[in-house]
Amino acid sequence: MSKVSRLEVVQTGARRRWTLAEKQRIVAESAGAPRAVSATARRYGISPSHLFWWRRLAREGRLQADNETTAFARVVVAREASEPDGALGRIEIVLAGGVRVIVDRNVDRDALVRVISAVERR
């Protein structure tokens, strides 16, 4: 029989929510030395690819407090004279970069949040 010098228990199924401060601390720690990403990721129980994602966000300035806060955007309510009555209740959201998301009044809020988040990440 061979001896086991190290045994690692990996839990699956539970998602961990990291605070912004934790993410920033882990990213800073991973920048310390060569191969620090793998060791740091292992220490905190995250995949190295996940840590590389956080490092990329930090480099791009997107791992900051204002990314985790909710803010209100300016809204313009307008109806074009040429719009048919079926267009009533339709919402057009113009995101940064000119991306437009058009939904009707019955849109599922959670689905809309997921779509906008995905569009903003690309």
Task: Output the DSSP codes for 14-65.
Answer: PPPPPPHHHHHHHHHHHTSSTTHHHHHHHHHT--HHHHHHHHHHHHTT-SSG
Pick from 72, 88, 68: nearest CA to 80: 88
Distance of alpha carbon 42 from its chain centroid, rounded?
Answer: 22
Give the pLDDT of the chain (122 residues) as one tens digit per residue.
556 555 555 555 567 788 899 999 999 999 887 788 999 999 998 999 999 999 999 988 888 775 445 555 666 666 665 656 556 677 777 776 677 888 887 888 888 888 888 877 76
Q: Is 86 helix (H, G, I), strand (E, B) or coil?
A: helix
